[in-house]
Amino acid sequence: MALTTRTRYALRALIDIARNDADGPVRAADIAERQQLSVGYLERILLQLVEAGLVNSRKGPGGGYLLARAADEVSLAEAIAAVGEELFSVPCVCEAGVEECSLEHDCPARRVWAGLNSVTREYLEQQTIADFAGRDRRAGTTVKNGLRPLRSAVDPE
């Protein structure tokens, strides 16, 4: 799965906000500087995150961006969906509808794609912004490298 630049920047921005909002709103210019992003492009992404209800914005002096909920309540899947990214690795396992394919019902690799989709979705739903911002408040839920173990993927058939 190749994620768009918009998605990668949205995740970086959310993690940056979670790391830096202890003293109040975080300015887009500060996020852009720390993350080496274009301020204009970042502001468009932040607007999408505001519209999705993941981030609150404050205007004026002392304004900026704050997470709308605790960082441990915002999953990576939710953040990715907020900027319009699809989570599917192959269109034929997409919930939005199956692409026409002559092997749709007898594809020898369909279970591979469905399993990959299931594992990817499960991982993104389990991980939160806090897991990567160093602010995970759920004691005992992390293991090596800050990642929680995945439950085994459900057989898609």
More confident residue, 96 or 114: 114
CATH of the domain at 49: 1.10.10.10
Residue 26 pairs in a beta bridge with 65
pLDDT, tens digit (0-9, with 9 covering 90-100), for 1-27: 678 899 999 999 999 999 999 889 999
Instruction: Give the pLDDT mean for 112-116.
Output: 83
Is residue 155 a part of any domain in this protein?
no
Mean pLDDT in the chain? 81
Q: How far apart are CA 145 and CA 153, in angstroms?
A: 21
Residue 152: pLDDT band by 50, 70, 90 thresholds? very low
pLDDT, tens digit (0-9, with 9 covering 90-100), for 30-66: 999 999 999 999 999 999 999 999 999 999 888 999 9
More confident residue, 137 or 71: 71
Residue 110 has pLDDT above 60, yes or no: yes
Q: How far apart are CA 58 and CA 74, in angstroms?
A: 20
Q: Which domain does 67 fall in, by range?
A: 5-146
Residue 139 has pLDDT above 60, yes or no: no
Structural domains counted in the chain? 1
Buried b (16+ CB within 10 A) or exposed e, 83-93: bebebbbbebb
Q: Is 128 in contact with 73 (CB distance < 8 Å)?
A: yes
Q: What is the pLDDT of residue 86?
A: 75
Q: What is the DSSP letter of 84?
A: T
Q: Is 110 in contact with 93 (CB distance < 8 Å)?
A: yes
Q: Which of 48, 47, 71 is nearest to 59 (CA)?
A: 47
Is residue 156 a part of any domain in this protein?
no
Is residue 38 a part of any domain in this protein?
yes
pTM of the model: 0.76
